[in-house]
A and B are shown apart, each in its own frame.
Chain A
Amino acid sequence: GAVVSQHPSRVICKSGTSVKIECRSLDFQATTMFWYRQFPKKSLMLMATSNEGSKATYEQGVEKDKFLINHASLTLSTLTVTSAHPEDSSFYICSARQVAKNIQYFGAGTRLSVL
């Protein structure tokens, strides 16, 4: 399958700081990427759809000013958690959609811990 790289894999930060997570599709161009959040032993919840060259589309209940998404190129989307708080601690996973196969390929995830 296609490769999606997500970085960093783990980050620990102090409350009030901002954290940027990168998601790259390494072997295909992705006009659409997705950001998910996953709580322990739970399913994935879609946070937002990242569209190359335009604004992201956020799911209901997700604060767009809190979770800033930028999709500046066909291979890179970033999620910035601004002014992080302990309740933002979670596992964040990105995916990139390969149009030809209509399959989302996932990154390895980022474990965010806010102290």
Chain B
Amino acid sequence: ETGVTQTPRHLVMGMTNKKSLKCEQHLGHNAMYWYKQSAKKPLELMFVYSLEERVENNSVPSRFSPECPNSSHLFLHLHTLQPEDSALYLCASSPEDTYPIYGYTFGSGTRLTVV
């Protein structure tokens, strides 16, 4: 375990469903990230939270809605998704956003399949 826990590990949902992905870290990090990983494409940064405030939203469709209730927890709420949203969703954390030397700590991801 890396210290970043994601649940569920796998999720299959219909296009009309509503579901949420959860990420939890107890590393004392102040920044948390959502990434989308699709095959043979660079990791896509979706959202960034620093000190519980959203600081970046990379033109992500509104059917993805993040929430950061405290510095240890990050959610990604999903509704009316499309089949092309099927991917591995990774959560990461770092001690401070944009301070480079520490890198990021990643969770194991949630494999999402939209049917």
The reply to whether chain A is a binding partner of chain B is no
